């Protein structure tokens, strides 16, 4: 069974575990426990300190994805189409093909619903496996992120986006920063798996940014759960190394040719 089908079959049976990765070493470790690994354009803010993901380029995504590819064997690997790479059908298809060809990823993800539906249809018609993304759309936000689905107009729009994406042939959809009852409604309404980030455990699966769960970022976002203090471990290792170098304990005989 192919990896997409395997993930889709989990709907209503078991939860789908997803995380982001931007490089081989991290991908290799998380791959043991994930169903899907996303090379997200969140790398712009997480690694490059950009104020918005809009500054992330196609080449950046390709280089990071090539690295991730070397660490992923088991999980489905998805790569974000960055901002300004899917303004029209032709551009979207060209960029998706380039990403898939150069990185050997399994699928691409793009943000938006009804507004980009013709573009999504064009991709799926051309056999590009696509993951959707509704709710908070970071590429469209200039400034603070605002929780979505508080009013009826927004709820209707996000639900219609998700339904339209399913009809356009996406294999799954990320729901970001959305009120829990709306996530529940969408998850029950569509047949493809929903992957939540800040969207409650009504979703079929969950995704978080790996650097956040490792405590590598200063994220104070409510929906982020921190599982480890990696900054502390890095500091400790660097401190021990410094002491060894200064005291000439390193390199000892063991490390000499
Ligand atoms: O860019 C990203 O990492 C994402 C996920 C967090 C869903 O889109």
CA-CA distance, 61 to 82, in Å (whole number)? Answer: 7
Confidence at residue 25, expressed as pLDDT on a 0 to 100 scale: 98
Task: Compute, in angstroms, the gap from residue 38 CA to the centroid of ligand 1.
Answer: 7
Q: State how far Cα 31 lies from the chain centre.
A: 14
Mean pLDDT of 51-58: 96
| Mean pLDDT in residue range 44-69 | 97
Q: Which of 34, 37, 38 to mutate to test the pocket of ligand 1 (most atoms within 8 A of CB)?
A: 38
How would DSSP label each residue in the chain? --HHHHHHHTTTTSPEEEEE-SSHHHHHHHTTT-SEEEE-TTHHHHTT--SSGGG--HHHHHHHHHHHHTT-SSSEEEEEPPTTS-SSHHHHHHHHHHHHHHH--SEEE--BSGGGHHHHHHHHHTT--EEEEEES-GGG-SSS---B--SHHHHHHHHHHHHHHHHHT-SEEEEESB-HHHHHHHHHH-SSPEEEESS-TTSSEEEE-HHHHTT-S----TT------HHHHHHHHHHHHHHHHHTT-SS-GGG--
Mean pLDDT of all residues belonging to the chain: 97
Residue 209 in contact with ligand 1 by CB distance below 6 A: yes
pLDDT in tens, 61-117: 999 999 999 999 999 999 999 999 999 999 999 999 999 999 999 999 999 999 999
Distance separating alpha carbons of residues 16 and 245, to the nearest angstrom = 45
- CATH superfamily entry for domain 3-226: Phosphoenolpyruvate-binding domains (3.20.20.60)
256: confidence class by pLDDT, cuts 50, 70, 90 = very high
pTM of the predicted model as reported, rounded to 2 decimal places: 0.97
Q: What is the mean pLDDT of residues 1-9?
A: 95
d(CA 16, CA 22): 20
% of the chain beyond a pLDDT of 90: 94
Q: Are 79 and 104 in contact, with CB atoms under 8 Å apart?
A: no
Best substitution site from 23, 27, 42 to test ligand 1's pocket, by max atoms within 8 Å of Cβ? 42
User: In sequence order, what are the beta bridge partners of 131?
Assistant: 109, 172
Buried b (16+ CB within 10 A) or exposed e, 12-21: eeeebbbbbb
Q: Ligand 1, atom 4: nearest CA belongs to which residue?
A: 40
Q: Tell whether the model's pLDDT for residue 144 goes beyond 90.
A: no
Q: Is 28 part of the annotated catalytic residue set?
A: no
pLDDT at residue 220, rounded to an integer: 84
* Ligand 1 close to Cβ of residue 179 (< 6 A): no
Closest residue to atom 5 of ligand 1, CA basis:
40
Looking at residues 215-244, what average pLDDT do you find? 95
What does the pLDDT look like over 154-197, one tens digit per residue?
Answer: 999 999 999 999 999 999 999 999 999 999 999 999 999 999 99
Percent of the chain with pLDDT over 70: 100
Apex CA 136: angle with CA 162 and CA 193, to 5°? 35
Residue 10: predicted pLDDT: 98
Question: Where does the pLDDT of residue 143 fall: very low under 50, low under 70, confident under 90, or very high at 90 and above?
Answer: confident
Please report the atom of ligand 1 found closest to the CA of residue 174. Answer: 7
pLDDT the model gives residue 142: 78
Q: Using alpha carbons, list the distances in angstroms from residue 27 to 5, 18, 69, 107.
A: 21, 11, 8, 16
Residue 205 pLDDT > 80: yes
Residue nearest to atom 8 of ligand 1 (CA): 40
Q: Which two tokens stand for residue 255?
A: 């490390």
| From 82, 133, 207, 225, mutation site for ligand 1 pocket: most ligand atoms within 8 A of C-beta | 207
What Cα–Cα distance (Å) separates residue 217 from each residue in 46, 138, 221?
7, 17, 11
What integer is the mean pLDDT of 26-35? 98
Ligand 1 contact, 174 CB (< 6 A): yes
pLDDT at 35: 98
Query: What is the 122 CA–ligand 1 centroid distance (Å)?
Result: 23
């Amino acid at each position: 069974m192919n990896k997409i089908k395997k993930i889709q079959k989990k709907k209503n049976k078991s939860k789908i575990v997803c995380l982001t990765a931007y490089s081989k070493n991290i991908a290799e470790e998380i791959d043991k426990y994930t169903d899907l690994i996303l090379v997200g354009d969140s790398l712009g803010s997480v690694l490059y300190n950009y104020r918005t993901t809009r500054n992330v380029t196609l080449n950046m995504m390709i280089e990071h994805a090539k690295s991730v590819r070397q660490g992923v064997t088991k999980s489905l690997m998805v790569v974000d189409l960055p901002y300004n790479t899917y303004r029209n059908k032709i551009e979207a298809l060209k960029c998706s093909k380039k990403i898939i060809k150069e990185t050997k990823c399994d699928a691409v993800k793009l943000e938006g619903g009804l507004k980009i539906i013709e573009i999504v249809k064009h991709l799926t018609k051309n056999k590009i496996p696509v993951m959707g993304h509704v709710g908070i759309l970071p590429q469209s936000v200039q400034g603070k992120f605002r929780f979505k689905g508080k009013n009826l107009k927004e709820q209707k729009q996000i639900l219609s986006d998700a339904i339209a994406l399913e009809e356009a042939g996406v294999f799954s959809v990320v729901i970001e920063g959305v009120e829990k009852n709306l996530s529940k409604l969408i998850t029950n309404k569509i047949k493809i798996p929903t992957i939540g980030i800040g969207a409650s455990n009504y979703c079929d699966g969950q995704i978080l940014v790996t650097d956040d769960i490792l405590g590598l970022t200063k994220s104070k976002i409510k929906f982020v759960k921190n599982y480890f203090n990696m900054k502390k471990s890095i500091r400790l290792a660097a401190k021990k190394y410094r002491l060894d170098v200064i005291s000439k304990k390193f390199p000892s005989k063991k490390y000499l040719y």
